[in-house]
Chains A and B, each alone.
Chain A
Amino acid sequence: QAVLTQPPSASGTPGQRVTISCSGSRYNIENHIMHWYQQFPGMAPKLLITSNNERPSGVPDRFSASKSGTSASLAISRLQSEDEADYYCASWDNSLSGYMVFGGGTKLTVL
């Protein structure tokens, strides 16, 4: 059971805007910068964007992130077929002795 809650799946057609939600608590999302990771089948995840909307070099600005209270979301605009992947949210969690927690992941399908 993942500490952060994500929908297991999401979908959209090319050109659409899709959002993926991530729900947590005051121990994690509310009080920490959180991140989104993108993972293609058989590949290692890669850092996609932070809740401060900072993207590593090479990540297109079609990806944006926001956070409010104990929830966060990833938005992908102008959806492309190459965006089809698994997306994970993550945050540091201050409960117990402090550790990193992930969402269960959302599989994005581009129809």
Chain B
Amino acid sequence: GQLQESGPGLVKPSQTLSLTCSVSGDSISGGMFHWSWIRQQPGKGLEWIGHISDSGRTTYNPSLKSRVTISEDTTNNRFSLSLRSVTAADTAVYYCARQGPGYTGYEVDTWGQGILVIVSA
């Protein structure tokens, strides 16, 4: 399968960052996969944001949980990220990705190309 992120590349502080991941070659509601968001701040390491399962159950990184919502649009085979009350620290490349089921350790086997989102006034 292939994943493609889309959304605004610039968001103002205190506003909501919204991104969509379009999935092709896979059904987000079929199979045992989880559909994830992972980010990478400039020059830094990877940070898992959360995922949504094929049944619509969400799990979030505790450090971001209060500001994050991941939702799905099964009709259009895509899923979305909403991150509220952003600050400059949320400036990052955001990747959508596919994770395997629990018995694989939730391995991330497919990644989108990533989208840079800058938080600035």
- Chain A residues with a Cβ under 8 A of chain B: 2, 32-35, 37, 44-47, 50-51, 56, 88, 90-92, 96-105
User: Are A104's CB and B62's CB within 8 A?
Assistant: no
Please, how many angstroms separate the alpha-carbon atoms of A27 and B95 in the complex? 25
Residue of A at shortest CB range from B64? A99
Residues of A within 8 A of B103 (CB): 33
Sort chain B's interface into a size bin. 20 to 34
User: Are A102's CB and B107's CB within 8 A?
Assistant: no
Given contacts A35-B105, A90-B46, contact A98 B59 (CB under 8 A): yes
Given contacts A32-B105, A56-B109, A90-B108, contact A103 B45 (CB under 8 A): yes
Min C-beta distance of B71 to chain A, whole Å:
18
Interface set, chain B 17-34, CB cutoff 8 A to A: none
User: Are B107's CB and A46's CB within 8 A?
Assistant: no
User: Are B111's CB and A44's CB within 8 A?
Assistant: yes
Contact pick for A44, options B36, B59, B112, CB 8 Å: B112
User: Are B113's CB and A99's CB within 8 A?
Assistant: no
User: Are A99's CB and B105's CB within 8 A?
Assistant: no
Other than the known A37-B108, A44-B114, what 7 A-B pairs have Cβ atoms closer than 8 Å? A33-B103, A33-B107, A44-B113, A46-B111, A50-B105, A88-B46, A92-B106
User: Are A99's CB and B60's CB within 8 A?
Assistant: yes
Min C-beta distance of A37 to chain B, whole Å:
7
Please, how many angstroms separate the alpha-carbon atoms of A2 and B95 in the complex? 18
Please, how many angstroms separate the alpha-carbon atoms of A91 and B45 in the complex? 14
Residues of B within 8 A of A96 (CB): 62
Residues of B within 8 A of A45 (CB): 46, 95, 108, 111
User: Are B45's CB and A105's CB within 8 A?
Assistant: yes
Residues of B within 8 A of A33 (CB): 103-105, 107
Contact pick for A100, options B45, B106, B111, B112, CB 8 Å: B106
